[in-house]
Structure 1
């Protein structure tokens, strides 16, 4: 009853909002309070049950026999400096009206795309504090247990936990999450489980990738791990004639874009092969990346279009 109440309540005034919106007797207040200290349930079991309900009943978006997950981090400003989990955070937003540093909470959220071809929306699956709670988690830390992973790695872990229930999945993330630790954790999950989850994200404008090394190296020494370095932003000019034009449904309307698909190595020290899709749309250039080398370039562009549209809707 409390879970349903939190989903339907019209305000955020605690347990009393659940009592009002569900028209419960006021004498239920103390009983509902005990719910939060009960050992009869766990957050993990509630989360697993919710994901199973979504898997069975929701009209999910499926691309190449894989569901589409969406992940993102959110920074919520807080006035109380001594609140649990509040810390100084840096904002990467390009909006000049936002401060460069804030005090607040850093949340990580995972959702899944559901709906109809006319209207896709993100159905939340999980959200938690992913930074500023290192000391709290240390109180219950078991000997030999590793420290809390970074925000980026936690997003990969949460996405893969959902993928194990839904089956194979694609996780849409923004360019902040394209890091070597994220790819290393994803590869570790693939070695330990039969479930598969691939990332579709965006690269920074100054991204540098590498060609495959030569098959043979003259002379003695260790064979090279990478080939020639390529600044992908320069490819828009040097290989302009190689771009292909295609008409896709982006942001709810038909648009013509030009793209070039390249499979290159990326990641200092890792040198993992990724699929880079260079896109030109309305005079704007962007680079979309996928860890799945079998995913079509048009599907990669369309998938990131879903994520960008949902992100803009959420900000509004």
Structure 2
């Protein structure tokens, strides 16, 4: 009826690849069974993770009901899962670390995995949602407001993939601001009473202990004396070695090594002060030209590598790499003095991968579309007077405190399920793109010649999930989901699929 032509790319899918993919999903989810003290809680975990992978919209948890054709009567039970005492966030995190270390093709640099850390702010207007507070936006995007009300998450990911395409597999995300009062009620806030910067280092050490030594990539916001102190302390006490590669601000000041003097008196801790921005001009002749791979392309740039002291009162040895790329100048920093300048430049180029993961979690997975709230939570006050107590301090009832704490658990649990679903989607892309290049389909898209995107994998699963269940009835994941489905709808959907 229309003269317009729409291109639809549809590729054949072999029965063998279909079966293998669902078996891989079943293998991954089975590794989480010991995390749950009750079978029903584990089954709901499986339903939720698979539902997050295939749901067609982000309109709340009902999208999972629609995406998997669940019987509507199960909706309230699924809601109850997030506040259940049958699981803990720490156990899910450790199990996910083990799965990633065992099954993901991780990137190793000098025998160390590469972790990526960053903060993520999501706007929330819920007036009775715990953890919501006024946040300042550091983004350079002028379309974003200077301040928002919402949640601040700290995220740790790990690089995995191949030279064709690297993913930042999310490992863990938790709220790192606005929750101290709630956690104080149970005496469990010791790990979250520090600043967002220090908490990021602590979370990275937890991952480093699971994967061995690690290199942590951070944005320039995280280069601070408290973060470096926590890094030094962790390297002494945690039993695993971790180094940081980050970026310094252009107004950064460093110090040369002190000159040893004979005679009496306390030796100097630092030498001459250097304004690093001036070094680009005063020592321009010493810059070396090199060709490196940045963001998937070969780029020519020049650099100068200097080992200096940094941090007022700390004076830690750091390796600074001053980089000139056309008219752009940047200062990269590494706590590992054995890394070459080109390695530091290449490594920091991978830091943006966590931004790509945030985008996919928002747009494809709907990871931050939760709407958990509690009537026991005091109504959000947008403007507190100076010296005015926070409304949470007025909550004294044990029952009310428990409900608020459970709501906080529900928020972080939903995000953790989304983390696992996103990482599982990325592992499917890495594992099956090479085996069956014509595995996936997309509308109005050029087929990928390397590794397909997360959106492509979710589109393929959404189109074929019911047929996969019908072909693999013996798998645990199939039996769990079919036990909660509206079978009349499933039969019709499987034929359509």
So what's the TM-score if we normalise by structure 1? 0.93
Q: Give 2:325's aligned residue.
A: 281
Equivalences, count? 314
Q: Give 2:169's aligned residue.
A: 123
In the alignment, which of 74, 80, 90 is matched to residue 34 of structure 1? 80
Q: Give 1:160's aligned residue.
A: 205
Please give the secondary structure, in 2, of the residue aligned with 1:53. Answer: helix
Q: Give 2:95's aligned residue.
A: 49
Report if the CA contact (8 A) 2:157-2:171 is conserved.
yes
Specify whether residues 74 and 37 from structure 1 end up closer, same or farther in structure 2 by C-alpha distance, changes over 3 A only. closer
Report if the CA contact (8 A) 1:73-1:106 is conserved.
yes
Q: Deviation per CA, 1:103-149, whole angstroms, max 9, x where unpaired?
A: 22111111111111011111111111110112111111169x58711
Report the alpha carbon displacement of residue 7 of structure 1 after superposing the two structures with TM: 4.1
Q: Give 1:238's aligned residue.
A: 282
Q: Give 2:249's aligned residue.
A: 204
The CA distance in 1 between the partners of 2:271 and 2:86, in whole Å, is: 57
For residues 73-152 of structure 1, the aligned pairs below 5 Å read 73-141=119-187, 148-152=193-197
Report if the CA contact (8 A) 2:132-2:178 is conserved.
yes
Q: Give 1:181's aligned residue.
A: 226
Q: Give 1:195's aligned residue.
A: 240
Of 19-28 and 160-169, deviating more is: 19-28
The CA distance in 2 between the partners of 1:98 and 1:282, in whole Å, is: 29
Bigger proportion of residues as helix: 2
Report if the CA contact (8 A) 1:81-1:103 is conserved.
no
RMSD over aligned CA atoms reads: 2.1
Q: Bigger relative contact order, structure 1 or 2, given CA contacts below 8 A and separation 6+?
A: 2
Specify whether residues 147 and 245 from structure 1 end up closer, same or farther in structure 2 by C-alpha distance, changes over 3 A only. closer
The CA distance in 2 between the partners of 1:78 and 1:97, in whole Å, is: 17
Q: Deviation per CA, 1:250-296, whole angstroms, max 9, x where unpaired?
A: 11111111011111110111110011000011221100001111111
Bigger proportion of residues as strand: 1
Specify whether residues 299 and 85 from structure 1 end up closer, same or farther in structure 2 by C-alpha distance, changes over 3 A only. same
2:292 paired with 1:227: no
So what's the TM-score if we normalise by structure 2? 0.60
Q: Which runs of 5+ in 1 are unaligned?
A: none
In the alignment, which of 283, 299, 302 is matched to residue 255 of structure 1? 299
